[in-house]
């Protein structure tokens, strides 16, 4: 988030290489940057008036494939292959997604610190994050649910 940026008044701290190294150390030591959606966007996103629109098949599956499975996948074994994504947090299936839906909404939707900002790679757009929140607030529907009349 913006306050982690090294701009304006704080720039003088970085007058030395030591200062820059200290700043990087801070980032590595748990000051994990995020990129939160504006509050009003989150409020507007929390709209489950049209839950027929987004499904796992027309949205969720491709979302997780594009932005999460290069770390959070059952097919990735070991810390290096998983880029340190915790063992057992995998989004290959709808069940895997549902198990962590609340945390997914927070980290990838609201806060935007998943995927991790410090690692290069594709990230969802603001629009896609809004869709993610909507789909989760609708209880992660799939076409199978619809076919089952639920
Ligand atoms: C480049 C690798 C990488 C990608 C891509 C990635 N993650 Fe993660 N994820 C991690 C790591 C590392 C952790 C553990 C550290 C942490 O929690 O910040 C983690 C932890 C998590 C957690 C568990 C922590 C919690 O807050 O409960 C959730 C949920 C999560 N990621 C969601 C996602 C979602 C959703 C996506 C796709 C939009 C995603 N991640 C993409 C690496 C990744």
The residue whose CA has the least distance to atom 4 of ligand 1 is 115
The residue whose CA has the least distance to atom 19 of ligand 1 is 85
The residue whose CA has the least distance to atom 32 of ligand 1 is 104
Question: Domain segments of the chain: what residues?
Answer: 1-31, 36-147
- Dist. CA 142–CA 116, nearest whole Å: 27
Structure tokens at 64: 């997780």
Q: What is the DSSP string of 16-83?
A: SHHHHHHHHHHHHTT-----PPPHHHHHHH---S-TTS--IIIIIHHHHHHHTTTTS-TT--STTTTT
CB 103, CB 111: distance < 8 Å:
no
Report the pLDDT value the prediction gives residue 137, as an integer from 0 to 100.
Answer: 95
The residue whose CA has the least distance to atom 35 of ligand 1 is 104
Residue 149 binned pLDDT confidence (cut-offs 50, 70, 90) = low
Q: Would you say residue 88 has pLDDT above 70?
A: yes
Residue 3 binned pLDDT confidence (cut-offs 50, 70, 90) = very low
- Dist. CA 107–CA 70, nearest whole Å: 17
Q: Is the CB of 68 under 6 A from ligand 1?
A: yes
Q: pLDDT tens-digit profile of 25-74?
A: 444 445 678 999 999 999 888 877 889 999 999 999 999 999 999 999 99
Report the pLDDT value the prediction gives residue 49, as an integer from 0 to 100.
Answer: 83
Q: Would you say residue 22 has pLDDT above 60?
A: no
Q: Is the CB of 33 under 6 A from ligand 1?
A: no
Report the pLDDT value the prediction gives residue 96, as an integer from 0 to 100.
Answer: 98
Q: Is the CB of 70 under 6 A from ligand 1?
A: yes
Report the pLDDT value the prediction gives residue 133, as an integer from 0 to 100.
Answer: 97
Q: pLDDT tens-digit profile of 90-140?
A: 999 999 999 999 999 999 999 999 999 999 999 999 999 999 999 999 999
Q: How far is the CA of 56 from the centre of ligand 1 (A)?
A: 19
Judge if the upstream peptide bond of residue 53 is cis by omega within 30 degrees of 0: no
Report the pLDDT value the prediction gives residue 30, as an integer from 0 to 100.
Answer: 55
């Amino acid at each position: 988030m913006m306050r982690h940026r090294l701009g304006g008044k704080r720039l003088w701290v970085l007058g030395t290489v030591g200062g820059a190294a200290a700043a990087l150390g801070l980032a590595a030591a748990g000051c994990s940057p995020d990129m939160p959606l504006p509050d009003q966007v989150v409020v507007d996103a929390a709209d489950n008036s049209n839950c027929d629109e987004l499904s796992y098949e027309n949205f969720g599956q491709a979302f997780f494939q594009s932005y999460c499975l290069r770390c959070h996948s059952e097919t990735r074994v070991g810390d290096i292959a998983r880029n340190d994504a915790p063992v057992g947090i995998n989004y290959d299936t709808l069940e895997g997604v549902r198990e962590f839906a609340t945390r997914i909404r927070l980290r990838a939707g609201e806060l935007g610190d998943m995927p991790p900002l410090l690692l290069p790679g594709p990230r969802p757009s603001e629009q896609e994050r809004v869709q993610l929140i909507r789909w989760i607030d609708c209880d992660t529907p799939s076409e199978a649910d619809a076919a089952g009349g639920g």
